[in-house]
Structure 1
Amino acid sequence: MAAPAPLLHPDPDPSFTELLAIRPQLRMDPLAGLMLEEVPLARIAAAHGTPVWAYSAGTLRRRLATLQGALAEARLDAQVHFAVKANPNLAVLRTLGDQGAGADVVSEGELRAARAAGIPAAHIVFSGVGKTLAEIRLALSEDIQQINAESAEEVAMISATAAAMGRTARVALRVNPDVDAKTHAKITTGKSENKFGIAIGDAPALYARMAGLPGIRPVGLAVHIGSQITAGVGAYRTAYGHLADLVRSLRAQGLVVERVDCGGGLGIPYRDEPAPNPAALAGAIAATLGNLGVALMVEPGRWIAGPAGVLVASVILQKQGAGRRFLVLDAAMNDLVRPAMYEAWHGILPVAPADFTAPLAPADVVGPICESGDTFARNRGLPSLQPASLVAFLDAGAYGAAMSSTYNNRPLAAEVLVEGDRFALVRERQTQEALLAGQALPPWMAR
């Protein structure tokens, strides 16, 4: 694997105090150290080891309520479906489901997780470009709210499967509006060269054909233009404007369009970058789709869950290289892959009060995996940290644990949910025995 581009930024990094100032779920207690809600992160690490993920239930609820409030303020008939791919932990899903969120799923596993967390099938949408026959059968047997179809071939699969099962699938057609969301190339999804959706020019004919197929009831349209969108809401307005025109065109043909799934992608400020807020997104939806009389859906993931989570890691050692200081942690790219995969920036804070106020010096923050790509930050201002000192990666609640792997045969980290002044283990740390479970030597290798 080639090493990623240097994780550098032309502007000075935000200070520790500046990072905390815009993250109300975190604070530095002069005695207990860095707190998530009212729980010291050091206490979580002592109870469950490191690396360990910790999620703030209060933050999940607060951010969901903010988005729901913005949609209501814009007088939109809109449902929020949490993008399960961002964080499929059952406790996270239950917390959001109890506040009225549905689920946007992209696999059998995510659908089963949403149901296990108590989210009603009637509040689940199945998206994704490559649903298998088994996944389509499961979605139909569960009688979920909607399947978002992404190709003519998939429409045919859904029709044949539903007809064979004696079911009628509620299907929305995902269109690709060829709109550049100005986000990272690996997470843009609404350009013509991306694998997602039907070219918007081909959508009218396919939608009309769907209306005559057995086992299918066309219910509307869907779109998703990318993830971590921070360049304002202009791309949203453009994409939704194209969808509004398409709704009018389909209705002019006598076709029924009941719903529009607006997708997700609203970005968060990992560093200090500006990011659009839910009110701006709601305004873009209202200005383009608000007068069409359609039920609306949004599919946030990162915006809700990202700021709610931290990854706590321990220092293994400090290594002085040739002109560089390396801070080696027990967390690695198998735990938090975003810096290696996307050149992503995450705030890193010391957990102990004394370390929080100690003098800073540049350090490369790395993990123990045998790749140079296992680097979280370069030239980051951090204090001298002794072995067993704790640090916390901020905004790690989305696409953190969800993208973890067991590379280098490293067990998956534990996950904890924080609620006020209490916390509970919501996913056990994987054991070394579990890493080997399921493997077997062939008979001719038996001893």
Structure 2
Amino acid sequence: MTEPSSSPMGQDPTVADMLAGRPHLSMHALDGLVLEDVPLTAIADAVGTPTWVMGAGTLRARYRRLTGAMAGAGLSPSVHFAVKANDHLAVLRVLAQEGAGADVVSGGELLRARAAGIPASRIVFSGVGKSHDELGLALAEAIAHIAVESAEELEILSAVAAAAGRVARITLRVNPDVDAGTHEKITTGLSTNKFGIAYARAVELYARAAALPGLHPLGFSLHIGSQITSMAPYRAAFARVADLVRAVRARGLAVSLVDCGGGLGICYRDEGEGAPAALAGAIRAELGALDVRLAIEPGRWLAGPAGVLLSRVILRKAGEDGLPPFLILDAAMNDLMRPSLYDAWHGILPLSARDAVQPPEAVNVVGPVCESADSFARNRMLPRLGDGAAVALLDTGAYGMVMSSTYNGRPLAAQVLVDGGRWSVIRPRQPVAELWAADRVPDWIAPAPVGA
């Protein structure tokens, strides 16, 4: 392995750079790339590729770092993991054992969180389009609170709760019209976004909620986006919500909770990681004097760095007219959608220590799916890799497997959990026949010919 170095601005991080920023990963001369204490080649050889791998120890360490930063600022918010980031039961169970609750955005996620052992009292339900059945489920489970995102939903929930003879604990999710400065597809706090209640209407609707049957308003929620590394947008949004709390209290209404949402970013390339201590400082500065309970909803920050996607080079295809060659992997956009959806950058490391020290070259890393968008990296500087070389795509623990599909008739990849020096398959590779096992052909369509 080469010595750690700093990549010049605009250049791809080296193997050493990527390892230096990820203490849960290391490169051993004999074992190659190791996650926690498990050589990833052992998993790739035993389970095959593509395979998702999550580190339980890494999840715990990051959870404790986050809650420790909050405690260091004198805060004790309830922590609700954003299930949309990674919904595997094992991942949810690891975090639940650390004390995390769940932030869910569908009835399916709510039931999944409950199946993972997360108490209903630690579950919050967000989302702009909750159905009547989902609202009824949340009421029946008696979850911590429902984040109401529109005036229309407020009226619907009141009717559902009153009909069921229940009282819904709610927050109003406010859209503070603050630009988080992230990719347009993961920004959620602007007035042009579909999420939340317009800031100018929040006080009026809070008073309306207090008067409606079946509702018990607790306070406000907000979530301004994802992959945020600067604290300025957070402070601006929190300050606006603090003003709402004071305005509502001035009307004689009680406010006991502010849910600060999530969105803290991680370092995929060289952008730096959002610091939990800085987030805690922003919360304390803007909300600390309000005498309210606090909640946060981390997702990517906890799970993203804890996961990798293992893959192999199917073949190396020469580029035309001196252009970079193509490395065609057995993983594809149906496995990891983020690069094709967001132009997202993911580090790529060889599993072999010998491959890791090969001279670097510019390559295009792509998958085998029949779409031009099936690309992981363009003109990326990587050690020279040949057919069959195994690699790890980094920081895929959030919005990775959970967004997978079976497009092009490709089964879902296997999943593995590492915990220190042990590992286990937590979801086997999907058998190909399962892709059509639930298909039903109407009896008025002629059967397939014998022997077809």
TM-score w.r.t. structure 1 length? 0.97
Establish whether residue 205 from structure 1 lines up as the match of residue 201 from structure 2.
no
Amino acid at match of 1:183: T
Amino acid at match of 2:314: I
- How far apart, CA to CA, are the structure 1 residues paired with 2:142 and 2:446? 47
Partner of 2:5: none
- How far apart, CA to CA, are the structure 2 residues paired with 1:374 and 1:35? 27
Match of 2:232 among 211, 231, 234: 234
Partner of 2:104: 105
SS at match of 1:211: helix
SS at match of 2:235: helix
Q: Give the CA deviation at 1:383.
A: 2.9
Partner of 2:348: 348
Which whole-Å deviations, capped at 9, do the CAs of 1:87-129 have from their partners, x for residues lacking one? 0011110000100111000011111111111111000000000
- How far apart, CA to CA, are the structure 2 residues paired with 1:155 and 1:335? 37
Amino acid at match of 1:394: L
* RMSD between aligned residues: 1.1
- How far apart, CA to CA, are the structure 2 residues paired with 1:82 and 1:380? 33
Establish whether residue 365 from structure 1 lines up as the match of residue 353 from structure 2.
no
- How far apart, CA to CA, are the structure 1 residues paired with 2:389 and 2:40? 12
SS at match of 1:13: coil
Amino acid at match of 2:327: L
SS at match of 1:202: helix
What does residue range 306-385 of structure 1 map to in structure 2 within 5 Å?
A: 306-322=304-320, 323=322, 324-385=324-385
Partner of 1:143: 142
- How far apart, CA to CA, are the structure 2 residues paired with 1:233 and 1:446? 63
TM-score w.r.t. structure 2 length? 0.95
SS at match of 1:42: helix
Q: Give the CA deviation at 1:382.
A: 2.1
SS at match of 2:434: helix
Q: Report % sequence identity.
A: 61
Amino acid at match of 2:290: L
- How far apart, CA to CA, are the structure 2 residues paired with 1:51 and 1:10? 32
SS at match of 2:249: helix
Q: Give the CA deviation at 1:10.
A: 7.1
Partner of 1:276: 274
What does residue range 186-205 of structure 1 map to in structure 2 within 5 Å?
A: 186-205=185-204
Deviating above 4 A after TM superposition, structure 1's stretches of 4 or more consecutive aligned residues are none
Which whole-Å deviations, capped at 9, do the CAs of 1:227-257 have from their partners, x for residues lacking one? 0012x10000000000001001101101111
- How far apart, CA to CA, are the structure 2 residues paired with 1:137 and 1:446? 43
SS at match of 2:225: coil
Partner of 1:157: 156
Partner of 1:176: 175
Partner of 1:243: 241
- How far apart, CA to CA, are the structure 1 residues paired with 2:253 and 2:446? 64
Partner of 1:434: 434
Q: Give the CA deviation at 1:77.
A: 3.2
SS at match of 1:425: strand
Which whole-Å deviations, capped at 9, do the CAs of 1:322-376 have from their partners, x for residues lacking one? 0230000000000011111111110000101110111121110000001111010
SS at match of 2:200: coil
Partner of 2:114: 115
Q: Give the CA deviation at 1:388.
A: 2.1
Where does the alignment leave 5 or more consecutive residues of structure 2 unmatched? 1-7, 448-452
SS at match of 1:50: coil
- How far apart, CA to CA, are the structure 1 residues paired with 2:76 and 2:14? 41
SS at match of 1:255: coil
Which whole-Å deviations, capped at 9, do the CAs of 1:187-218 have from their partners, x for residues lacking one? 00000000000011101111101111111101
- How far apart, CA to CA, are the structure 1 residues paired with 2:420 and 2:75? 32
Amino acid at match of 1:113: R
Q: Give the CA deviation at 1:80.
A: 1.0
- How far apart, CA to CA, are the structure 2 residues paired with 1:277 and 1:410? 38
What does residue range 406-445 of structure 1 map to in structure 2 within 5 Å?
A: 406-445=406-445
- How far apart, CA to CA, are the structure 1 residues paired with 2:253 and 2:176? 20
Q: Give the CA deviation at 1:165.
A: 1.0
- How far apart, CA to CA, are the structure 2 residues paired with 1:334 and 1:357? 30
Q: Give the CA deviation at 1:321.
A: 2.3
Where does the alignment leave 5 or more consecutive residues of structure 1 unmatched? 1-8
- How far apart, CA to CA, are the structure 2 residues paired with 1:12 and 1:242? 38
SS at match of 1:181: coil
Establish whether residue 92 from structure 1 lines up as the match of residue 91 from structure 2.
yes
SS at match of 2:155: helix
- How far apart, CA to CA, are the structure 2 residues paired with 1:218 and 1:12? 50
